[in-house]
Structure 1
Amino acid sequence: MARKQHLRQFLGNSVWSGLSTVARAGSSLLVNKLFAVYYGPHGITLLAHFQNLIALLTTLPNSGVNVGLIRHLAQHEVKSQAYRAYFWAGLFLNVLTFLGAAGAIFLFPTFFLERFADDLLTQTGFGNLWLLLGLFVLLLLQLFWLSVLLARQALRPYVWLSLLTSVISVGVMWGAVGKVKLSQALVLFLVGQSITGLVGMAVVFHKGLVPTWQVKMEPSVLRDLGKFLVMALSTLVGAKLVDFVVREMAIEQFSLVETGLWQSVVKISDSYTMVYISVLGMVYYPRIAALLPQPEALKEYVKSVFYLLVPAVGLGLLVFWWQRDFFIQLLFNEDFLAARDLMDYQLLGDFLKMTAWVLSYIITVQARVKLYICTQLISGVVYVGLVAWLMPLLGLDGLPMAHALRYGLYLAFHLYLFRSYFSLA
């Protein structure tokens, strides 16, 4: 009975998360298409680098502080002192980590801004840099409000806020691209992404989720959220650095064209894993955070979701593999059909990865910092080692095979770690 209830709740909430994800994915595809048509490859390159800059400034606050915030706010009532303490500590750490990331970028402008410095910074002028900073702050606030809504399982306002962001982003870009300079289009892209920070603030205040002001930051609360910040830092450094190293290894070993074929497969993989991550992040993670004080209920919920998602993911990836030629041409063009054989091991690796994520989220919600950091870093090192071993032996096929082997080991470790969740006793 409990399992059926868990499944109904998970599936019901997944519908809402799916709407949000489809809107974000659709708006992203449309924005990319508009930049490609009106600004060509140069525009796509600058858009990608600008999106990377946004990620650098928001990854630690959003993937670190806010993830920890969701866990702790989900466990306390809005009127409680604990909720109040975590809320304001989370906002403080958001600002602090953002300023730290922004400071690093401005200390090393050549490294971080080289690709679009002349096109963006020179043309916008010094005064408009303050406008950019303000837009980044609005984006930071938007991500914070969304985390508060997720913690309270307020999925409907969360989804409507996400839909509004997508509509505004597409609308602004649709009216601007081709009529303004590229540098102005990049700024307008940020406007579309961040302006709903004000709307989000109004929604959170209206729902009574903002507690009374608290200036004093409790050390224990900062330590609790700091654990998630450290985990996010390890993910940022490990994942980004490993991806960069592997890509450099591929470029050294193969031509840019061959490396591009492999990257097209990775991009396709990213498109559907984004949907999966959204469901886990919006529905699964807040629920296991709320169930953390109830170990038996947590085990039952995890097991129910695991047995639901694993066959569903497997079936979906099989359909994707069957129609891979169609999807390659839809997302790219016929020139990329040479990458079709690389999809075999990529899809296998994605199945193993997506299965393991159901269990790895438990480590995150339990704030097992040392274990999390070790798994992320060791996984990255193993991946680099597998690539270095398999590429000379198998050529381009060695890259997706290394991906599959990496996540096969990753899944085996998590199944062993959480074996008690599946025991019959």
Structure 2
Amino acid sequence: AVTFLSGFIVIKVVSVKIGPEGIAFVGQFQNTTTILTMLSTAAIAGGVVKYLAQFRENENEANKIIGTAFVLAFACAMALSIGIMAFSYQFSSATFKSTDYWLVYFLFGLCLTAVSLNTIFLAVLNGLKEIKKFTIVNICSSLIALCCTLLGAFFFGLIGVLLASTITAVVIFFINISVFFKLGIKWRPTIKRFDRNTARMFSAFSLMAAVSGFVIPAVQIFVRNKIIHDFSVTDAGYWQAVTKISDYYLGFITTVLAVYYMPKLSELQGKAELRKEIIQGYKIILPTVGAIAFLIWLFRGLIIQLLFTEAFVSMKPLFLFQLVGDFFKIGSWLLGYLMIAKAMTKTFLITEVGFSIGFVRPNLTGSAGNSFWKVPNNRSQMIRHMPMFLSR
């Protein structure tokens, strides 16, 4: 709830201070840093959750998993951070079509190790089922992000909003260290703690997470650039704004799935148990998402007034396609988590790439075209997943 509310407050302030054009540029930066963060963790967070959930009662195995995860993340982050700082001007030019924001990327690169290790910290807490501490860290992260974004937007405009996530990550890094110290978990990345067999175990998850973590943000960057090229930055801002609404309310659902659902699927071994758990998930999650989506569509005019400004009124027609697409997206994600939990690498890669190809289609009528294609594309992905589920 705290993350949910703080996210909407951030949307309102940012939309008032920087408008649709600024919202579009923030989306570009967030997608780019999502890809870079994924690469900096060697894309092993999902593997950490799975194997810790599976071996948390075995102290020796758990220590190997934790130690190897931190060593891999630290090494990848250090190497990548040097590259980002060295090419900060190029990153700024590619993202914003201007080198004016090179400092944003330089500071992100400088703090990338903290960003990377934060991801592993949370994966460890999730895998060990330290749900209370996991929740506390997430709440702290949301509140700190809220404060940093508000201050950044009011005093520095767009550049302040862009820097907020980096500053938040540094603060959360020290909070995570404190939590691990209290739990007595050794996290320092030393070469002695690296285990080759454990690293190989992570490889299947790395491939799945790397494809998902790269393809989805890359597709969004492509779509946003296409809207900017064919129409305007403002239209891209409308598409980003309605997408952001989906991100926040679906974020609540996916947090539940990641914290409870995936570790649970990782633990279950029998086919009957898996089917029962997935069917139960559909019975609870889909009606919930459907009800929330309907309410958002019904009150879309009020939502635009509350969360945005009059400059965003033109995004109103986008809600229907976006929200119907969200419903089918969650339906496909429920089975997607099964693929991750059971390391079904080939099936996951085929469906993920298929989804991304389907999403990148010619614009029909500006940003509305991309929201429209979300409906049949997410629906077809859900249908593609069903035979796999029925065959298990």
How far off is 1:167 after superposition? 2.9
Structure 1 residues 412 and 42: alpha-carbon distance in aligned structure 2, compared to 1, 3 A threshold: closer
| Range that drifts further, 198-207 or 221-230 | 198-207
Per the alignment, residue 279 of structure 2 pairs with 303
Per the alignment, residue 18 of structure 1 pairs with none
Give distance in 2, aligned partners of 1:54 and 1:121: 14
Structure 1 residue 350 and structure 2 residue 326: aligned?
A: yes
Give distance in 1, aligned partners of 2:224 and 2:143: 34
Structure 1 residue 67 and structure 2 residue 46: aligned?
A: yes
Deviation string 1:240-267 (CA, Å, 9 cap, x unpaired) is 2322333344344445544544443323
Q: Is the 8 A contact 2:41 2:120 kept in 1?
A: yes
Give distance in 2, aligned partners of 1:185 and 1:268: 18
| Range that drifts further, 299-308 or 177-186 | 177-186
3-state secondary structure, aligned to 1:105:
helix
Q: Is the 8 A contact 1:150 1:282 kept in 2?
A: yes
Query: Residue 418 of structure 1 aligns to which amino acid in structure 2?
Result: F
Per the alignment, residue 89 of structure 1 pairs with 68
Give distance in 1, aligned partners of 2:384 and 2:356: 14
Deviation string 1:189-248 (CA, Å, 9 cap, x unpaired) is 533332122222222232244489771533332122122222222123322232233334
How far off is 1:96 after superposition? 2.8
Structure 1 residue 121 and structure 2 residue 103: aligned?
A: yes
Per the alignment, residue 416 of structure 1 pairs with 387
Structure 1 residue 375 and structure 2 residue 357: aligned?
A: no
Q: What is the TM-score of this pair, normalised by structure 1?
A: 0.78
Query: Residue 344 of structure 1 aligns to which amino acid in structure 2?
Result: L
Q: Is the 8 A contact 2:207 2:345 kept in 1?
A: yes
- Give the number of aligned pairs: 388
Deviation string 1:305-332 (CA, Å, 9 cap, x unpaired) is 1211112221221222221221222222
Give distance in 2, aligned partners of 1:241 and 1:163: 28
Q: Is the 8 A contact 2:77 2:112 kept in 1?
A: no
Q: Which residues in structure 2 correspond to 1:2-401 (within 5 Å)?
A: 22-31=1-10, 33=12, 51-52=30-31, 54-61=33-40, 64-106=43-85, 108-114=87-93, 115=96, 118=100, 121=103, 135-172=111-148, 178=154, 190-210=166-186, 215=192, 217-291=194-268, 293-384=269-360, 387-388=361-362, 391=363, 397-401=368-372
Structure 1 residues 262 and 42: alpha-carbon distance in aligned structure 2, compared to 1, 3 A threshold: closer
3-state secondary structure, aligned to 1:215:
helix
Query: Residue 58 of structure 1 aligns to which amino acid in structure 2?
Result: T
3-state secondary structure, aligned to 1:329:
helix
Structure 1 residues 28 and 267: alpha-carbon distance in aligned structure 2, compared to 1, 3 A threshold: closer
Per the alignment, residue 8 of structure 1 pairs with none
Give distance in 2, aligned partners of 1:226 and 1:118: 38
| Range that drifts further, 366-375 or 151-160 | 366-375
Give distance in 2, aligned partners of 1:248 and 1:69: 34
Q: Is the 8 A contact 1:250 1:259 kept in 2?
A: yes
Give distance in 1, aligned partners of 2:157 and 2:84: 24
How far off is 1:94 after superposition? 1.1
Give distance in 1, aligned partners of 2:318 and 2:11: 24
Per the alignment, residue 19 of structure 1 pairs with none
Q: Is the 8 A contact 2:208 2:345 kept in 1?
A: yes
Query: Residue 142 of structure 1 aligns to which amino acid in structure 2?
Result: N
Give distance in 2, aligned partners of 1:271 and 1:72: 28
How far off is 1:155 after superposition? 1.1
Q: Is the 8 A contact 2:324 2:375 kept in 1?
A: yes
Gaps of 5+ in 2: none
Structure 1 residues 63 and 281: alpha-carbon distance in aligned structure 2, compared to 1, 3 A threshold: farther
Q: What is the TM-score of this pair, normalised by structure 2?
A: 0.84
Structure 1 residues 245 and 167: alpha-carbon distance in aligned structure 2, compared to 1, 3 A threshold: closer
How far off is 1:354 after superposition? 0.9
| Range that drifts further, 224-233 or 357-366 | 224-233
Query: Residue 155 of structure 1 aligns to which amino acid in structure 2?
Result: I
Deviation string 1:262-297 (CA, Å, 9 cap, x unpaired) is 443323222322222222112211221222x34432
Q: Percent identity?
A: 24
Give distance in 2, aligned partners of 1:82 and 1:382: 41
Q: Is the 8 A contact 2:117 2:173 kept in 1?
A: yes
Give distance in 2, aligned partners of 1:344 and 1:45: 20
How far off is 1:419 after superposition? 1.4
Give distance in 2, aligned partners of 1:32 and 1:151: 31
3-state secondary structure, aligned to 1:198:
helix
How far off is 1:358 after superposition? 0.6
Pick the structure with greater CA Rg: 1
Q: Is the 8 A contact 1:57 1:98 kept in 2?
A: no
3-state secondary structure, aligned to 2:56:
coil
Structure 1 residues 238 and 198: alpha-carbon distance in aligned structure 2, compared to 1, 3 A threshold: same
How far off is 1:410 after superposition? 0.3
